Structure 1
């Protein structure tokens, strides 16, 4: 991100990631604190494979981060938490982001 805000491509990726109701629910749950995949899947009520797909999209957009940790019994557990992001959308901010787009349609090739 630039000081003024995310680049055009990053902004499109962030907004596309947030445009899904399930991903909004994931962000909402993680805003209360970090959580591990199995527990998060149970709380939200989705399968772990579906959750993983959405977590990857949020992580690629820079909205969450994941870290692998070992539990006391030696089991690998992936924890996710929300990053410190702040989106303040105004017409001038969108115009600046649009000037930095590298592709006419950032959705192409995704």
Structure 2
């Protein structure tokens, strides 16, 4: 991630500001790519709730998905973690703040 992209930094931080989404990232990092039903069982949440969290993570660019067919012809949506590095230093935040598309002070 470009440390100067404030909107992207906000999206990433917002996506990670939820315990379910942190658990999703941890499960995918530890176990590699996984399909929704299996991931929901591992994390212990419903598939609809998992989908909502995965959408947020995918929109922030933290995970990606691919649809594949199983041997019996069922469509399985696999998710995996994208590599990311989010610097949270005062300097990185100051640089990112300068590039925000919405300035609440204006």
* TM-score under structure 2 length normalisation: 0.93
2:60 aligned residue: 61
2:99 aligned residue: 100
Total equivalences in the alignment: 103
* CA displacement, residues 40-62 of structure 1 (integer Å, 9 cap, x when unaligned): 00011111000000000000000
2:7 aligned residue: 9
Compute the RMSD of aligned alpha carbons.
1.1
* TM-score under structure 1 length normalisation: 0.90
Q: Which runs of 4 or more aligned residues in structure 1 lie more than 3 Å from their structure 2 counterparts after TM superposition? A: none
1:31 aligned residue: 29
Residue ranges of structure 1 left out of the alignment (5+ in a row): 106-110
Residue ranges of structure 2 left out of the alignment (5+ in a row): none
